[in-house]
Amino acid sequence: MTASTEIRAEVVESQPQPYYSPEEYLKLEEVAEFRSEYHDGKIIPMTGGTPNHNQIALNLGGAINFATKGQPYRVNVNDLRLWIPSKRVYTYPDVMVVAGKLEFAEGRKDAITNVVMVAEVLSKSTASYDRGDKFKLFRTIPTLREYVLIDQYEMHVEQFCKTDDNKWILSEYDGADAVLVLSSVRFEVSLGEMYDRVDFESEE
């Protein structure tokens, strides 16, 4: 997060928030300089990503996309919105995978609803939210089978997989030789590959 982004977020949070309809949010988002999420009437500015954050998301999304070539999966990185209708939330996950055809929010072609896997790259400012309230929001998506959290400051990954009896099982991975095996997609990758070209020293 840059200093200017931090200031902008603090100013927005300190002022009373007007209520926005989803349609008003989408119109504002089309011309906005910075991306924002929508949470049931509130517009919440997103923090800026670091080079490491972007590299990790690109590495994972690109690897899944290549591995599933010719298979009925769609992989999206960073810029496509996810609509969670039961919670009236628009958000931008770092990596999303859809099995089969994309299903869009009503009247939209830029917001999908039917993800099977979501991955988020954790930052210091979002880690607690991504593990807590955001995961709670994602669990309301009927199609979601897997949630992956990737630390951008060290080689560490947390993977939550949904079982047939509606339980979420946590697995953790550490170090370059550890191999993440997805359950929602036929795909595996070593953490060394996922963190390729990531400079941890730049985050210190």
> Residue 98, Cα to own-chain centre: how many angstroms?
13
- H/E element, 1: none
Enter the tokens of residue 162.
């949904």
The CATH class that applies to domain 51-203 reads alpha beta
Angstrom distances, CA of residue 102 to CA of 70, 74, 88, 93, 115: 16, 8, 19, 16, 8
Q: Residue 7 has what pLDDT?
A: 35
Taking the CA atoms of the chain, what radius of gyration do you get in angstroms? 17
The ranges assigned to domains in the chain are 3-45, 51-203
Q: Residue 10 has what pLDDT?
A: 44
Work out whether the CA dihedral 112, 118, 121, 124 comes out positive or negative.
Answer: positive
Q: Residue 49 has what pLDDT?
A: 82
pLDDT in tens, the chain (204 residues): 443 334 344 444 556 779 999 999 999 999 999 999 999 999 999 877 899 999 999 999 999 999 999 999 999 998 899 999 999 999 999 999 999 999 999 999 999 999 999 999 999 989 999 999 999 999 999 999 999 999 999 999 999 999 999 999 999 999 999 999 999 999 999 999 999 999 998 876
Distance from C-alpha of 107 to C-alpha of 150, rounded to nearest angstrom: 33
Q: Residue 48 has what pLDDT?
A: 75
Structure pTM? 0.89
